[in-house]
Amino acid sequence: MSDKKVLKLGIPKGSLQDATIALFERAGWRIYASGRSYFPTIDDTEIECMLVRAQEMARYVEQGHLDAGLTGHDWVLENQTDVEYVTSLTYSKASRQKVKWVLAVPEDSPFHKPEDLAGMTIATELVEFTKRYFAGKNIPVKVEFSWGATEVKPPMLADAIVEVTETGSSLRANRLRIIETLMESETQFIANKDSYADAWKKEKIDSLALMLNGAIAAQGQVGLMLNVGKANLDAVLGVLPALNSPTVSQLSDPEWVALNTILEESLVRDVIPKLKAAGATGIVEYPLSKVVL
C-alpha cells in the first residue's frame, strides 16, 4: 500500500473552468484538461484534480470526497454546507469583480420592490437561497428552478427572476430591470474540515492559496526599474504611485540610485514620461506573474 500523500482538488467545471486553469498556470501549476475526462492532469504529483460543477463543489468537499475545491460563495450558501473557508479569490469568467445575484423584472412590469411580488412566481437556479430570502421577509412567493436561459422567462413563464450578473448587460439586453440585490459573491477556496486539520494537507492547501492570491494580485500590475541621480530623487519619488514604498538601491556611482517599484499597468503610459521629465533614466517596464504581500 502506497504511503504517498495526495491532495484531492476540485476544479470548477463550466463557465469558471478556463479562468481557473489560467489562474493556476499563473500561480505555477499547469493543469491539462482534455476531451471528456473529468480528471485533468496537473504537473504536481501531490495533487489529483477532478472537474466538478461549482454548484455541487461544496457538498463534495463537505462530505470528504474532495479535500479542497474552488466554488462561489453563493453555492456554499445555497447548499448550506459546513466547510472551511481558506481564502477568497476575486476572479470570474469575465472580470476581476464580484458577481451579484439580483432580483429582476421586465422593464414595463408594475413591480418595484420585493414586496410587490407577493403571490408571484420567481425563476432561478439559486432556489433554496431565494426561498430563504423571501421567507425572511415574510413574502409568499413560488420559486421555480430554472434550467437555463432564465432571462427570457419573464413575463410569460415567470413574473420575476433571481439571476447572477457581472455587468448587467444580459439583463438589459433582455429588457429587464433590477429591483433588488440579494447577495454579492466571489470565488472561494474551500476545504474539508477534517482535511484542513491534517498538518500536511493544510500546508499544501495554504501554499496553493498563497500562490493563487499572488497571481491574482499581479493581474493588471507591472514592475518598473529605473535609475536616478540623488539630486532628482525627490522629484521622481513624487511621480511614482507605488504599491509599497519603492526599493531604493545605491549604484556604484555614489551620486546615483536605482529604484524598483510596482504600479498599475494602466498608469504606465502617463507615469513614464513624467519620470523621464523628472530626471529618471534607464527606465524598464517588466511583467509580473505573482505579487505576494
- pLDDT averaged per 10 residues in sequence order, the chain, 293 residues: 83 90 94 88 96 96 98 95 94 71 95 96 97 97 93 93 89 93 95 97 97 92 94 93 80 95 92 95 94 82
This prediction has a pTM of 0.83
SS3 per residue for the chain? CCCCCCEEEEEEECCCHHHHHHHHHHHCCCEECCCCCCCCEECCCCEEEEEEEHHHHHHHHHHCCCCEEEEEHHHHHHHCCCCEEEEEECCCCCCCCCEEEEEEEECCCCCCCHHHHCCCEEEECCHHHHHHHHHHCCCCCEEEECCCCHHHCCCCCCCEEEEEECCCHHHHHCCEEEEEEEEEECEEEEECHHHHHCHHHHHHHHHHHHHHHHHHHHCCEEEEEEEEEHHHHHHHHHHCCCCCCCEEEECCCCCEEEEEEEEEHHHHHHHHHHHHHCCCEEEEEEECCCCCC
pLDDT of residue 243: 59
**Domains contained in the chain, CATH given:** 7-93+187-218 (3.40.190.10), 99-185 (3.40.190.10), 221-287 (3.30.70.120)
pLDDT of residue 1: 46
